[in-house]
Amino acid sequence: MILARVLGNVITSVRVDGLDGPRYMIVAPCTPSGETVSGELVVLDLIGSAPDEFVLVTQGSSVRQTEITKDKPVDAVIMGIVDIVEEDGKVVFKK
């Protein structure tokens, strides 16, 4: 899984993913304290995240194991919204 920060939305009018009304977001991988690193991704948002939220992103074949994404051409999905990040026994992020 990848810890990432949501940067914004991606809106598409034409797609071939076979999903009804999907929401795509731009995310940037980040450190536990929230500093973004390069390598932004476009990911399918299954849970309703918002800009500036910390999220958990998964990639690869495991993405297609949900009922919504089964057999769909999806490479990355937001699987969770992060509430607290603890590092070395200290809270470094709290929603």
- Model confidence pLDDT, tens digit, residues 28-44: 999 998 888 889 999 99
Domains for the chain: give ranges and CATH numbers. 2-94 (2.40.50.220)
pLDDT over 80 (residue 82): yes
Give how far Cα 77 sits from Cα of 12, 49, 87, 89, Å: 17, 11, 24, 29
Give the pair of three-digit tokens for residue 4.
């990432």
Query: What span, in angstroms and rounded, lies between the C-alpha atoms of 72 and 94?
Result: 34
pLDDT of 85 reads 93
